[in-house]
Amino acid sequence: MAMDINDKHRLKNRLLKAGHLIALFIAMCIICVPGLWVVVNSFRPTVEIMAKPPVWIPTEFNLDHYRAMFGAVGEGGIPVVRYFTNSLIISVTSTLIALLVGMAGGYAFARYRFKGKAAIFVGMMLTRAVPGIALSLPLFIVFARVGIIDTHFGLILAYVAMNVPFTIWLIDGFFRQVPKELAEAAEIDGCTRWQAFWKVEFPVAKAGIASAGIFAFLTSWNEYALASQLTRSVNSKTMPVGLLDFTSEFTLNWGGMSALAVVMIIPALILTFIVQKHLIAGLTFGGVKG
């Protein structure tokens, strides 16, 4: 009898596990298929992309779209390298600034008591409630007056403003998890306040700060609404805006768009991967008990 019951449970567990795996597979398919479709399309001839009914299994792979994209203007080429460097400069700079401000602000919120703390915090969160696109016209007018339309500086400024409330909020949460006794122990061990921060609190919260960094970077890297208003030429156009170069009055160059999208996705993937491997993997807790 006992065996029967055990067998029954074993069978039930196996079925449950299989069910989980199948559900997971379906969910992953739904999440991944659009991305995969973009990648696949970037290697397929336009005819096949446009075919009706769709060709599910690609029959021919080539690099035509990439060749064209990197090729001369007029033959379907666009200034990919310029767009890429613009994107990189703007995203990296705005991320670094947002992280620095976020660390300063997050630390202050986590560690110090000051007047109006709660109100400032709520106010900052409220700025996140305003949709970026609603700001694009006022921003455009102000930027135009000041003369920073179509500059790296303009976009960096906009992205920093966009990311800072979020980085502060995230980093505040991570510093809160670092017991304040750690910094105190460091101070007693001979550190100045400043050293205690950099040698103890920062390394312990590093993983969290890095995740805030990834988030800020991806937001800037993929942002379209503001960038499309605040940039106009190769001086400052970022890749998401560059995608529009593939639309013309009567046609959409899907293959080219996919190729550029792949060029956009790859650095983001690499970055996320590196940061995750090096920082998140080393999540460091357990220095205190109680």
Q: Residues in the site for another protein, rule: CB under 8 A?
A: 179, 181-182, 184-193, 195, 199-200, 203-204, 206, 282, 284-290
Distance CA 22, CA 61 (A): 30
If the CB atoms of residues 138 and 286 are measured against another protein, the closer one turns out to be: 286
> Closest separation between CB of residue 28 and another protein, Å?
32
Q: Which is nearer to another protein, 71 or 203 (CB)?
A: 203
DSSP string covering the chain: -HHHHHHHHHHHHHHHHHHHHHHHHHHHHHHHHHHHHHHHHHTS-HHHHH-SS--SS------HHHHHHHS-BTTTB--HHHHHHHHHHHHHHHHHHHHHHHHHHHHHHHH---TTHHHHHHHHHHHTTS-HHHHHHHHHHHHHHHT-TTSHHHHHHHHHHHHHHHHHHHHHHHHHTS-HHHHHHHHHTT--HHHHIIIIIHHHHHHHHHHHHHHHHHHHHH--HHHHHH--STTT--HHHHGGGGB-SS-B-HHHHHHHHHHHHHHHHHHHHHHIIIIITT----S---
What phi and psi, each to the nearest 5 degrees, are found at residue 178? -90, 115
Nearer residue to another protein within complex by CB, 201 or 245: 201
Distance in Å, CB of 277 to another protein, minimum: 17
Supply the minimum distance, in Å, between the C-beta of residue 180 and another protein. Answer: 9
Residue 178 beta carbon to another protein: minimum distance, rounded to whole angstroms: 9
C-beta of 46 vs 195, nearer to another protein: 195
Question: What is the Cα–Cα distance from 281 to 229, expressed in whole angstroms?
Answer: 39
The distance of closest approach from Cβ of residue 186 to another protein in the complex, given in angstroms and rounded to an integer, is 8
Of 64 and 201, the one with the shorter C-beta distance to another protein is 201
Chain centroid, CA 277 distance in Å:
16
Residue 198: CB minimum distance to another protein, A: 11
**Shortest gap between Cβ of 188 and another protein (angstroms)?**
5
Closer to another protein by Cβ: residue 82 or 176: 176
Q: Which is nearer to another protein, 78 or 205 (CB)?
A: 205
Give me the least distance between CB of 187 and another protein, in Å please. Answer: 5
| C-alpha–C-alpha distance, residues 266 and 152, integer Å | 22
Which of 56, 114 has the CB closer to another protein?
114
